[in-house]
């Protein structure tokens, strides 16, 4: 098997599409009001599934995290430490919720965390000064 992509379950498709497309620069593959929206970032397929539509399709109910949650993270890398700081400022100015301000970790990575509009964690990091 080959990894093709990954998906997240969303409540408000339009808000989430606009965040990932307009704020993070993911390429959208279809209309933002579709039941399932396919986006792409750096050759990786990123799927947004509307929770209610997915439950209807699978004929079952699921439990979901709410608020800012640590269920998983989406990790994005940038070219250097200064780019981490810049991305953090841009993302929080665009409405992403701050989770961890840019910090240089003992293992040499400069990293920060924000949350998307539905509370999913996004890490921005670099190992290059």
> Can you read off the two tokens belonging to residue 125?
């990091």
Average pLDDT for the chain: 93
pLDDT tens for 85-96 read 999 999 999 999
Whether the CA torsion 16, 122, 39, 63 is positive or negative: it is negative
Q: Is 0.75 topped by the overall pTM? A: yes
The 8-class DSSP code of residue 95 comes to T
- Distance separating alpha carbons of residues 86 and 102, to the nearest angstrom: 9
pLDDT tens for 19-59 read 999 999 999 877 777 778 999 999 999 999 999 999 999 99
Classify residue 84 as left (phi > 0), alpha (psi -120 to 50) or beta: alpha
pLDDT tens for 93-115 read 999 999 999 999 999 999 999 99
pLDDT of residue 88: 98
- Distance separating alpha carbons of residues 126 and 35, to the nearest angstrom: 34
């Amino acid at each position: 098997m080959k990894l093709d992509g990954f998906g997240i379950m969303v409540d408000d498709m339009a808000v989430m599409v606009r965040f990932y497309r307009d704020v993070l620069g993911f390429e959208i593959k279809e209309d933002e009001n579709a039941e399932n929206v396919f986006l792409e970032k750096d050759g990786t397929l990123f799927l947004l599934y509307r929770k209610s539509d997915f439950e209807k399709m699978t004929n079952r109910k699921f439990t979901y995290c709410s608020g800012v949650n640590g269920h998983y993270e989406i990790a994005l890398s940038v070219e250097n430490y200064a780019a981490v700081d810049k991305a953090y400022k841009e993302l929080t100015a665009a409405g992403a919720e701050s989770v961890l301000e840019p910090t240089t970790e003992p293992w040499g990575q400069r990293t920060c965390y924000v949350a998307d509009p539905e509370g999913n964690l996004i890490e921005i990091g670099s190992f290059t000064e």
